Amino acid sequence: MTVVVDASAILAVLNDESGQDVVIERLDEAAISVVNLAEVIAALIAKGKTEGQARMAMRALGCAVVEADEELGIDTGILRKLTQPAGLSLGDRFCLALARRLGVAVLTADQSWSRVADACGVQVRQIR
């Protein structure tokens, strides 16, 4: 894995949004946390996709899905204080924690992440 993708980056691809090209060219080397996978599935279901369609859409992208474990949970919790000024969610922090664990950059459409990237020790790449 050379990059971690946030739910917003995956949704850019699945919803044909700007920035999708940046994500598409990195999908074969991308990882996503199981928490961010859940966010993507929830967003697809909310937009009217069936369970089967949502599962197929995610699987077709080919990202490696990384399970949440104790250490990732701890690191995610530690990041709360650092990310609170930018209003990042639990899912956002899981994504950052995974990128930090793997020592790779994260792709996101969320502009507020750039404000806390240095404090979190993660390189954030905006897709748009």
CB 7 within 8 A of CB 92: no
% pLDDT > 90, the chain: 99
Residue 125 to residue 128: CA distance in whole angstroms: 9
CB 32 within 8 A of CB 65: yes
Edge-to-edge strand list for the sheet holding 3-5? 64-66, 30-33, 3-5, 105-108, 124-126
The per-residue pLDDT for range 64-95, each reduced to its tens digit, is 999 999 999 999 999 999 999 999 999 999 99
Q: State the CATH class of domain 3-126.
A: alpha beta
- Give the model's pLDDT for residue 4: 98
Residue 105 to residue 127: CA distance in whole angstroms: 12
Which residues on adjacent β-strands are paired with residue 59? Answer: none
Provide the whole-model pTM. 0.95
Residue 65 to residue 58: CA distance in whole angstroms: 10
